[in-house]
Amino acid sequence: MSREEKTIWSEEKIFAVNHNAHAAAPARRFFSMTDAADTIERTHCEYAEEVRQYFHTLFPHRQWTVFSDTLDNPLPVHVELLHPTVEEPFYLLHTIGMSAAPMHYPTGQNSPEDKEAYGELCMLLPGNWPFDTKGDRCISVTDEAAWPIRLLMELGRFPHVHKLWMSYGFVLPNTENCDPFAKTTNLSGVLIVQFEGALGEMKAPDGTTIQILMPYLIYKEEIELYDEIGPDELIERILNCNEESFLLDIHRPNVI
């Protein structure tokens, strides 16, 4: 372990994290989160390390940083950042801890037979994302450019706090007024997509399926369009405007 790192005890595992990563929670919250909820029982803390190893298998030979969530209530959700490589010049972010508790489907006539599911989130950032690493500086979760990391932490808590089932096609504005996620972009909501294959789900050693969900950031007008055309058509239109890429582009064209 280098002098730039220290260890923390989290989710019953030791994670190596940058010393700046374990910082006080930023004042600004996404998705109007206040965490005014009871602590959520973590029934599967063992999934944390299994999720990490799964992503390391999918994206091997990468440097990595784990950002520790300092908000223990109601559910801590950490984020791991896998750094770009020459062959794959993009950042891969994924949550750790969202799957410690199940999401529950609301009771009703149309509820599925399996009324609970486990999930984690992932996101792709371009390799030139403006993280401040000048002079070998460690990335801090409080950095202005680190807002996607904080977004994943908040979004990973959201279905547990509000007792919602998050899956493909789930849409969520940042705030009631669709305020942008950052001052550098007008993107203000998320649309959950899910790939087929290895980046769409993983099997835990106990046989449990953990869904891997990707929040794709969208504009206020696209949230409104979603109600008219649904997720499939909206995703197709966005990809047509974004060179068929799922990388986060904070200046991509609006489909409206």
Summarize pLDDT for 27-58 with one digit per residue, the tens. 468 887 665 567 888 999 999 999 999 999 99
pLDDT digits (tens, 9 = 90+) for 116-173: 899 999 999 999 999 987 767 789 999 999 999 999 999 999 999 888 899 999 999 9
Per-residue pLDDT at 133 = 77
**Contacts of residue 243, Cβ cutoff 8 Å, sequence gap at least 6:** none
- Distances, alpha carbon 153 to alpha carbons 136, 140, 142, in Å: 25, 14, 13
Handedness of CA 107, 111, 115, 121 (dihedral sign): negative
- DSSP three-state, residue 180: coil
Nearest-angstrom CA–CA distance, 226 and 189 = 11
Supply the pLDDT for residue 9: 29
Write down the pTM of the prediction: 0.87
Q: How many helices, marked H, and strands, marked E, lie in the chain? A: 3, 11
Backbone angles phi and psi of 182, in degrees to 5:
-150, 160
Report residue 236's pLDDT band, with 50, 70 and 90 as the boundaries: very high
- Which pLDDT does position 113 carry in this prediction? 61
Q: How far apart are CA 10 and CA 26, in angstroms?
A: 20
Per-residue confidence (pLDDT) for residue 72, from 0 to 100: 73
Angle (nearest 5°) at CA 212 between 146 and 161 = 70
